[in-house]
Amino acid sequence: MGTATAYAIVISGLVNELVLVDINRSKAEGEAMDIAHGASFVKPVNIYAGDFSQCLDADIIIYTAGAAQKPGESRLDLAARNTAILKETLSEIIYPDSKSILLVVANPVDVLTYAALKTIKMPPGKVLGSGTVLDTSRFRYLISRHCLVEPRNIHAHVAGEHGDSEVLLWSTANIAGISIDKFCDRRGLSVPDRNTISSGVRRAAYEVIARKGYTCFAIGLAVKRICECILRDESSILTVSGLLSEEYGLNNVCMSLPSIVNREGRAITLEVSLAEDEKSALQRSAQALRQVLDNLKI
């Protein structure tokens, strides 16, 4: 995942310096060399293997460390192992008054984002997780296949946990301001089966892992997009994960809601109008995450 992210960032021309840090220094060197050898095909970038000290004061620190999700294993199953790894390493790569933005990508991303906040005590907006940015892309992709419309023209979001309890916000999904069902009716298409698409989004990672053992390319592109919003100060809306402060009556948990992302990080969380069943589903998603946090005593 880290390598795919680095590759996506390099070919985007977004940064001029990128350091790869891994417990296996030799592997980090090999990955950096492999990408650097394409220097004549991309904009100038200095990519190299480094150590924890070189993360300090970086504009963005992308945290991808942790055990990988295995076939049949949920993201939340990784919680204890990866929380321990995070607590062991985080103080070495960032300090409490750092101006860096910490972007957590390792799973379970919502749990680790919360653990990071509790560990380093930075302003909440400066610590965010990749959340459901990828899930949102999967949602739009599946809608696009049914509606025969390019995915970037579809406005639809996935909120809540990046995992089995995530909530697909069908009530606000639209194409050019037209609800998905009405759009399909006007084009003579069948109404999409919401259960099939919802299952497709939730099962996406499991299906990829069952076939190749891991996911990397789409999440690499998702992380690149988050970094782009931050470094270019775009104030774009992404479903990143962060600490909730009474949105929909939820607090003391990190999960995803549509948020404005810019140079400040997760600057503003948007409390959009939702259907009652979606609000209830968000409550259940938050409860599932809170239970994991309580079990881990975070």
Enumerate the active-site residues.
162
Report whether 78 contacts 69 (CB < 8 A).
Answer: yes
Q: Kindly give, in sequence order, each residue whose CB lies less than 8 Å from that of residue 34, ignoring residues fewer than 6 positions away.
A: none
Residues 104 and 116: their CA atoms lie apart, in Å, by 8
Q: Which amino acid type is present at position 255?
A: M
Our measurement of the distance from residue 298's CA atom to the centroid of its chain's CA atoms, rounded to an integer in Å, reads: 21
Report whether 28 contacts 22 (CB < 8 A).
Answer: yes
Sheet holding 265-269, edge to edge: 236-238, 259-262, 265-269
Residues 104 and 75: their CA atoms lie apart, in Å, by 14
SS3 219: helix
- E strand map for 82-208: 101-104, 127-129, 154-155, 158-159, 167-168, 174-175, 178-179
First to last CA, the chain: 26
Our measurement of the distance from residue 147's CA atom to the centroid of its chain's CA atoms, rounded to an integer in Å, reads: 25
| Of 10, 18, 252, residue with least CA distance to 124 | 252
